[in-house]
Amino acid sequence: MASKACCEIPPVITHDYTPKGVFGEVADFKSYITGPKTSKTGILAIYDIFAYFPQTLQGADILASAEHLVVMPDLFKGEVAEPNCYPADTPEKLKALMAFINGPANTKDGEANVRAIAEGLKKEYPGVERWGVVGYCWGAKVASLVSGPGTPFTVSAQLHPALMDVEDFKKVTIPQLILLSGDEPADEVEAYKKELTQHANEAVRTKSHIEVYDKMVHGWMSARADFANEEARKEYERGYGQVVTFLGDNL
């Protein structure tokens, strides 16, 4: 079940960012591609249910500025959660939102598609030696699912994850950076922190990091980033600084 905040907080509409990358075809998916194609490290970025929002594209460009090739595939194939459904405060809005989550955004297909894309990326960019995965909200759930046994990735970052489940975390086999807002379920956050101290995988246990940005709303690093709010802007920048450092240390 999606968190209450995920179903209630609308995205922040902004149109004043010009993406630095390009859209192209990667592994049979339209994708946003940014960063040097000659890089030895790559990041598969998984957007939230609002897809290619300017704040999310800017985040991809920030990751690429650290000399990573970043690919953000259009997993919903042109569909997107309708911002007018937020907050989902009527039966009609909630029905439309859940239809999207259970349809184009169902996590089973998301996981399968990301694994297939990861194999395609290896063929299309053979010079990239190591791939990481970064997921936002819904994308963070998918990132956790593809971080288990047989993962094609070296490291994972989950940013304000939706659909949190400590059972997913128990199965991951690569270091995780998990940045949470103050809106994530407190019981799940505590379960994740406890599991980290005793995780069966040594690399996960010793190299992962969990941090709560308790003054931030769910989605502050993607479609709900409010750059008109100075504190939110600074925390967006601080969050990306953490992601870049974590990837640099572990990718």
Per-residue model confidence as pLDDT tens digits over 18-60: 999 999 999 999 999 999 999 999 999 999 999 999 999 999 9
Do residues 143 and 133 touch, judged by C-beta distance below 8 A?
Answer: yes
100-112-158 Cα angle (round to 5): 75
Cα separation, 52 vs 72, whole angstroms: 9
Average pLDDT over residues 140-168: 97
Q: Residue 16 corresponds to which amino acid? A: D
Cα separation, 225 vs 106, whole angstroms: 24
Cα separation, 183 vs 160, whole angstroms: 9
pLDDT at 244: 96
CATH of domain 4-249: 3.40.50.1820
Cα separation, 2 vs 9, whole angstroms: 12
pLDDT band at residue 14, thresholds of 50, 70 and 90?
low
Q: Using alpha carbons only, how large is the chain's radius of gyration in Å?
A: 17
Answer whether residue 152 shows pLDDT above 70: yes
Answer whether residue 1 shows pLDDT above 90: no
Answer whether residue 2 shows pLDDT above 50: no
- Which conformational region is residue 78 in: left (phi greater than 0), alpha (psi within -120 to 50 degrees), or beta? left
Name which residue leads in pLDDT, 225 or 176.
176
The four Cα atoms 19, 25, 31, 32 give a dihedral, to 10 degrees, of -20
Average pLDDT over residues 146-175: 97
225: its two tokens:
């980033």
Q: Rounded to whole angstroms, what are the CA distances from 180 to 79, 91, 126, 185, 211?
A: 26, 28, 34, 10, 6
Cα separation, 170 vs 251, whole angstroms: 21
Long-range CB contacts for residues 84-89, cutoff 8 Å, separation at least 24: 86/7, 86/8, 86/9, 86/10, 86/11, 87/7, 87/8, 87/9, 87/10, 88/7, 88/8, 89/8
pLDDT digits (tens, 9 = 90+) for 181-227: 999 999 999 999 999 999 999 999 999 999 999 999 999 999 889 98
Scored b (16 or more CB within 10 A) or e, 158-176 reads bbbbbbbbbebbbbbbbbb
pLDDT at 13: 47
Average pLDDT over residues 1-28: 68
Predicted model pTM = 0.92
pLDDT digits (tens, 9 = 90+) for 62-101: 999 999 999 999 999 999 887 777 777 888 888 888 888 8
Do residues 195 and 169 touch, judged by C-beta distance below 8 A?
Answer: yes
Mean pLDDT of the residues in the chain: 92
Cα separation, 153 vs 115, whole angstroms: 10
